[in-house]
Chains A and B, each alone.
Chain A
Amino acid sequence: MKFLIEDVTVYFPYDHIYPEQYSYMIELKRALDAKGHCLLEMPTGTGKTIALLSLITSYSFSRPHTPIKLIYCTRTVHEMEKTLAELTLLHNYQVKHLGPQARILAIGLSSRKNLCVNPTVVASENRDSVDAGCRKLTASWVRAMAAENPDVPTCEFFENYEKAASAAVLPPGVYTLQELRAFGKQKGWCPYFLARHMVQVANVVVYSYQYLLDPKVAGIISKEMQKESVVVFDEAHNIDNVCIEALSVSIRRQTLEGATRNLSRISQEIDGFKATDASRLRTEYNRLVEGLALRGNLPIADNWLSNPALPDDILKEAVPGNIRKAEHFLHVLRRLVQYLSGRLDTENVEKESPVGFVASISSHAGIDQKTLKFCYDRLHSLMLTLEITDTDEFLHIQTICDFATLVGTYGRGFSIIIEPFDERMPSIPDPILQLSCHDASLAIKPVFERFQSVVITSGTLSPIDLFPRLLDFHPVVSRSFKMSLTRDCICPMVLTRGSDQLPVSTKFDMRSDPGVVRNYGKLLLEMVSVVPDGIVCFFVSYSYMDGIINTWNDTGILKDIMQHKLVFIETQDVVETTLALDNYRRACDCGRGAVFFSVARGKVAEGIDFDRHYGRLVIMFGVPFQYTLSKLEYLRDTFQIKEGDFLTFDALQRQAAQCVGRVIRSKADYGMMIFADKRYSQHDKRSKLPSWILSHLQDANLNLSTDMALHIAREFLRKMAQPYDKTGSSDRKTLLSQEDLEKMGDGSMHEMLY
């Protein structure tokens, strides 16, 4: 359908539109007009992504002279694929109705691991070895060597791509990762470098958050994006964590051991070069004197992860004299590693500020702050000089340099915590030194400054005033939309008692109680016999899930569950989890029905949708609290956010809502959610749940036992099976056709919605 929002004709690929989507577009358009940032919250199941894509592309068509580029950031690769699939749908529609002028170039960008088509390289296990494998074939010195000696292997795809030079372009269209690979294979060009190149000219770029937020990656991928871009962070409720993690490093014993090995390898290399090609080291020294830590324009294939600190914080000055010489730099690193390993030998938990830590390094190891700050770039330069291609072997020393640079650059917003053992297993010494960032605004600040509009959107951003404070920015539009439902298609329940009427909880003193475990099992067993298709269960942690599954297996509950549905479990192995998920979906598709056991805060909870028949019921066993006290103190001191507030906000708003919030895809969809813990019935906890859940939580469902919950579930499912009028009752429409939109002007629209 096609309709007007103020002066913009919006092309929307469906015959109908939800009123929420319409008003979402209006707000978004205002933010674009104002060239400012905005914060939009709209519950899941209302088609945010397609609304956003439709408006921004249509906006761009309506202003052909000042085209805007859309940078769409997703949290994960599979969300990227989903977005690109929606974009394909939209693009086909727009080309059909608008003709060739609607043609745009949209690409998804990922790492070499997901884009490489060279069979020998891509066979490697992880990203770093794929990167290294690629570098071994494409580094400038390797290619120079191959020019002289044909026996040196190179990558034919990269060579072809280089040969084609400026002719290597992607024709307009929407390219998912798979299509990029297919295109690259067909043309014989390297899809990774082609995509990297096309990012500069594409109208829509879809990639991971980290390509903008993590300075290490952003520095090489996103540095040339123009200011007239709209940056969208979708599913942004966790964006503060991403920002924080981008700037956090942790060091363990293994890291230090690995770093020591790396250092001795580097020193061998240096000796080798001294003997054969001493001039090279001298050239590097001269360059460093001039203050260029890196040559200005590296060949595209030589790039690696750039400096972990943000570009604005790096001083443009000469590298300090004491690390200009390769041997001296090695000595500095050796001392640093030694110092860190000394610090790891502690018996108590220690907490320190970066300033104190730097002072202590300076006095004990004789390394000053400025030297620390340059560690990363100096290492990079050295490795290029030494022509090291197997960079995956040098991750450990890289980590140490990351740490040094960060600790040398930032005086506030960080803390250093040394823990001698894992709190769950105090008997096993496993010391860890963490540099944790507390200030999410640090990493995202350059993004807000660089781009004209940044859109932060998600299903749950409330309390909506928290995010501007956490991320330290000033949105021009900040709105939260309610979802208008045609029927009560969400049925949240709070289960406080098991079938024997005893309370259930994952509270520390109760979680291992066999009665609780049995009651949880009985609850699931009853539900699998009633609920069709898919059921998802979330547990508070891996260890708790493992324990409970083992107990259920021993007591035979698991076997009974299997009589009704197949069981799949999230494990820490990503490959296995992915396959389990795929099988889970197939089991739901074919009607066999399945249960998926997952962990709140786990990878599945973060990004996999359990909409429609993939999740008719979500059971949340317990309350997923997280305790990181240092972060809380910082928040309290800096942003005046109360600890308790943040904790419940984090546990309930985000994690619980995250887990249960992915069951609804559209208004025709329906699902139930059971919060199985007595603590959910307390008002202070419950009231922190997202409002779209709260509004459906009836008082009668607040304090249920298993048999009552079962009864409610039966009733609900029967109700949902009845046919209904999809457009809603006449006074409150929940689905609009083109006609409806034309009939009412903006004014009546608003009246109707609010």
Chain B
Amino acid sequence: MHLLNLILQTSSFGVFTSSRLFFPLRLPATFSFALQIFPSRSTISFSHYNIHKTMASGLVTKRAKYKTTIKDPGTPGHLRMTLEKILFMPHNPKSAGKLDVEFRYIKGQKHTKEGSNKPPWLNLTNNQNGSFIFEFENYSDLQDCRDFVGKVLAKSGEVSEKPTVAYPDEQLSAAEMELRIKLLQEDSELQKLHKQFVLSGVLTEAEFWATRKKLLDREASKKMKQRLGFKSAMVSDIKPSTDGRTNKVTFNLTPEIILQIFAEKPAVHRAFLSYVPNKMSERNFWTKYFRAEYLHSTKNSIAAAAEAAEDEELAVFLKQDDILASEARKKIRRVDPTLDMEADEGDDYTHLPDHGIFRDGNKEMTESQNELYKRTLSQDINRHAAVVLEGRAVDAEFEDTKAVAEALAQSKRESSNKGESDGDTSRERLDRLSRMTEIEDLQGSNNLPLAPLCIKDPRDYFDSQQANALRTSGDALGGTEQIKCSLSILEVYSSLRESISSIKAMGWKEPIVKPEAAHQVFDALTNSISNTKHNIGKNPQESVLDRLPRKTKEELLHIWTSILELLKHFWASYPITTSYLYAKVNRLKDAMSNIYPQLEEIKGSVPSEFRHQVSLLVRPMHQALDAAIQHYEASMQKRSTQSGEKPNGYV
């Protein structure tokens, strides 16, 4: 199963990382190169979603009754679910209700709702339209099992791609499941909350997502994934490290770097595929590569030519990349015709060889022999930028160079096939051309397609933005400018009257609010928002949070978001109309009261110089929680007085 594989892999990564391949090599120069190839150092972050406590063990055991039909009184026993199977062992080993079904035969599940007057039943349908019904002792058991089954089905759905029957309530399709996992992976904050509340049972899966429907919708509709690009830095910027004592130079290579080298230098990629491991070892390959890079960096094309003549493998790295040249010829046909300078050569009769007047730079030094081994920095920079712009063709993470090379080759084949079959490019080119030629303000604008921005850590992003805004607005105002912000009622009234009468007289004006005024208000707001956070600190650049110890800051922020999450659910549960909501409120209240000691603990743990500030920060949290609990108690009281009058089924 997919899940297990992931976990296994992760542990094996740990092993790999600790064992570095380290080999010193001798070279004719006074330097010697050593090479380290790290397996991917980036830690695999997998969703906590998957390690639900029940999931982590891959096992659920619950007391239940197994019923063959709804009417059947049921056989009491233990229901045991693993990732592969559903096992039912009756208490009485002699009774006939023993069951052993593999999950892949299960098509879907139905269950009774809490609050309805049915017992907690779980109905699993198999692919022969039969069904297994289990009656649990309570709803929480049902919930555990239901979630477990949901997840297992989602997983198996991925593999077999069987259309799962969509039930309006809780049944999740594989796609939805995946989407949720993806959302959690992308947003570390959400992931933390999910881990804290759903896994600890404060909120159910459904409740947690119910408040985030929008997130699910939007994500589902666009279904676009933002992929990680290449680094902006050039590969040649990877400086070797020296140990300072010997003349040994060590290059650190990660699959990331290797992928980038392959993408930027297709000839190296091809050489790798054909030479390694048959002709030379990977270590030798990279040693040769860096030797070539070293020669190249000396800018001595004569020496390079000499070495290349001796060693044909080395020559591959030193020569101009022929694959690039042929790719360039292909690409030039697809280039925007309004900047195709290559086409100009067709009409250019003044820059014929030996015609016209020589201008600066048009006179080239021709070293026909060594030209082959000359590569300019400009070429490298252009190539690098083009590759970065193109983005990664290969998405997955690899720990093995060979795998990197092959995946890249595969994706190249695909894209070249696609490129040939794709006839839309010329259409697209024409569209772009016509868009380019239009003069924008003489005609209404047409909307350009936008790539949505995906922000992994919202807090990080918006904090930095705010700091920027603060800085620039500070620039603009150039000091403290007092804005008169308290108006008497009379003043407000007269200004309102004035503007109404002016609208009456002149009609609506475009824009209604003057841009300057709007900008000023916006600035002031940004300032004041930032100030509430910053003004405790002396320096406006540095918020009070930043001065706290990092751990405390993290904790505080986390508790704050958890409180918000709880409060959101709490207030949304009122008015309480069902017993389900009642139970939920109780759960939430318990969770909230658990937060008090946590807050106290934080307050206690910080050094004394920060204590005051922390308590300032904690105060609003206390207030919010207090308000909620007060409301809870008040309503409880009300209920208990009312419950005497209303005995009809409300708990």
Contacts and interface: CB of A to CB of B under 8 A. Distances in A.
Contacts of B381: 549, 558, 567-569
Interface in A31-57: 47, 50
B441 A569 contact: no
B343 A78 contact: yes
A92 to B, nearest CB: 10
Contact of A576 (B338, B348, B379, B439): B379
B426 A178 contact: yes
Contact of A242 (B344, B350, B439): B350
Contact of A628 (B345, B357, B472): B357
Contacts of B332: 575, 578-579
A65 B451 CA distance: 54
Interface string B333-361: 00111111111111111101111111111
Contacts of B606: none
Interface centre among B359, B382, B438 (most CB of A within 10 A): B382
Contacts of A553: 377
Nearest to A540: B360
B328 interface: yes
Contacts of B342: 574-575, 578
A572 B361 contact: yes
Given A542-B361, A559-B234, A579-B331, A47 B350 contact: no
Interface in A232-281: 242, 244-246, 248-252, 255
Nearest to B236: A553
B490 interface: no
Interface string B548-581: 0000000000000000000000000000000000
Given A50-B439, A587-B389, A668-B440, A602 B339 contact: no
B436 interface: yes
A553 B299 CA distance: 14
Interface in A595-623: 599, 601-604, 607-609, 612
A726 interface: yes
B365 interface: yes
Interface in B148-200: none
A543 interface: yes
A578 B331 CA distance: 10
A76 B348 CA distance: 8
Contact of B347 (A114, A248, A251, A609): A114
B638 to A, nearest CB: 53
Nearest to B437: A85
Give the contact-size bracket for chain A: 35 or more
Contact of B357 (A76, A176, A402, A434): A434
B443 interface: yes
Interface in A608-658: 608-609, 612, 626, 628
A580 B380 CA distance: 11
Interface string A529-572: 00000000000011100100110010000110011001111011
A50 B232 CA distance: 40
A248 B356 contact: yes
A245 B355 contact: yes
Contact of A86 (B344, B354, B437): B437
B19 to A, nearest CB: 32
Contacts of B442: 14-18, 47, 666, 735
Given A78-B344, A114-B346, A250-B357, A85 B436 contact: yes
B57 interface: no
A603 B363 CA distance: 14
A4 interface: no
Interface residues of B, number: 69
Contacts of A665: 439-440
Interface stretch (A196-204, A206-214, A366-374): A206-214
B360 A626 contact: yes
Given A569-B378, A569-B382, A579-B332, A16 B441 contact: yes
B511 interface: yes
A718 B381 CA distance: 31
A78 B337 contact: yes
A601 B441 CA distance: 31
Residue from the set A251, A305, A603, A608 with the largest chain B CB neighbour count within 10 Å: A603
B388 interface: yes
B344 A603 contact: yes
A81 B234 contact: no
B437 A82 contact: yes
Contacts of B438: 89
Nearest to B388: A566
Given A250-B354, A579-B382, A587-B385, A574 B361 contact: no
Given A78-B340, A585-B339, A628-B357, A208 B385 contact: no
Nearest to B450: A591
Interface in A378-397: 395-396
A111 B385 contact: no
B347 to A, nearest CB: 4
Given A110-B346, A665-B440, A666-B441, A576 B354 contact: no
B345 A176 contact: no
B335 A579 contact: yes
Contacts of A568: 381-382, 385
Contacts of B341: 76, 78, 574, 577-578, 581, 603-604, 607-608
Contacts of A242: 350
A590 interface: yes
Contacts of A89: 434, 437-438
Nearest to B386: A583
B70 interface: no
Interface string B475-488: 11000000000000
A607 B349 CA distance: 16
B118 interface: no
A422 interface: yes
A113 interface: yes
Interface in A162-181: 176-178
A300 B351 CA distance: 25
B339 A666 contact: no
A13 to B, nearest CB: 8
A742 B234 CA distance: 60
B216 interface: no
B359 A666 contact: no
Interface in B436-493: 436-444, 448, 451, 472, 475-476
Contacts of B336: 582, 585
Nearest to B343: A77
A667 interface: yes
Contact of B354 (A245, A255, A572): A255
Interface in B370-398: 376-379, 381-382, 385-386, 388-389
B228 interface: no
Contacts of A580: 382, 385-386
Nearest to B472: A714
A611 to B, nearest CB: 9
Given A210-B350, A248-B356, A250-B354, A127 B439 contact: no
A578 B335 contact: yes
A136 interface: no
Contacts of A211: 347
Interface in B15-65: none
A85 B337 CA distance: 10
A251 B361 contact: no
Contacts of A113: 343, 345-346
4 interchain residue pairs of minimum CB distance: A542-B361, A14-B442, A113-B346, A668-B441
Given A76-B341, A242-B350, 10 more contacts: A47-B442, A85-B338, A127-B345, A130-B346, A566-B232, A566-B385, A575-B342, A579-B335, A604-B341, A718-B476
25 contacts: A15-B444, A16-B442, A50-B439, A78-B337, A78-B343, A88-B434, A110-B346, A127-B345, A246-B349, A248-B355, A249-B355, A305-B349, A395-B352, A395-B353, A399-B352, A436-B357, A575-B329, A578-B332, A578-B341, A579-B328, A579-B335, A585-B339, A607-B344, A608-B339, A626-B360
